[in-house]
Amino acid sequence: METKKVAIIVGSLRKESFNRKVANEFIRLAPKSLKLEIVEIKDLTFFNEDVENNPPQSWTDYKNKLDDADAFLFVSPEYNRTLPGVLKNAMEIGARPPKQNSWKGKPGAVATVSPGAIGGLGANQAIRVAAVSLNIPMMQQPEAYIGQIKDKLMEDGVTVNEKTEKFMTDFLTAFEKWIMQLT
């Protein structure tokens, strides 16, 4: 089976974010046929249509990484019942100019992570809505809302517990199947 490259876009800039920890756990738990890598968004300037035809180097580097990916996994917190502004900005930059949409037609999935009980439901749904307009075919099931994340990490504060690891592994197996169907 051919190895597929999956770009993970983490919607939190915080160095010790729960979302980054979960993204790293997805990397650790990924099936051998998937090579997951975090594509950083922290150096992206705000999207500005005035510069999209002569973009800053950070945009070009970012879009090259998206273009090189076979699929996308969004791992994000929820801010005010929707997706973080930095993630929306990264999605816009990846989609522009429209004839060079780096997302177009590549499979995607989303996992939202929260210390709260709902697990980022609002952000998860908002990311899906944005992905539709970017032409990212999103995996519908299983959905991944990882709430109460503090209770799902081991004592090291990084590794997920056994039950959460199984959930994440099952999610990745379904995502692997989704990617193979579409690529």
The tens digit of pLDDT for each residue in 76-125 reads 999 999 999 999 999 999 999 999 999 999 999 999 999 998 889 999 99
Residues 156 and 30: their CA atoms lie apart, in Å, by: 20
Domains of the chain by range and CATH? 4-182 (3.40.50.360)
| Alpha helix segments (H runs only) across the chain | 18-29, 57-68, 85-95, 121-133, 162-182
pLDDT in tens, 140-152: 999 999 999 999 9
| pLDDT band at residue 156 using 50, 70 and 90 as cut-offs | very high
Global pTM value: 0.97
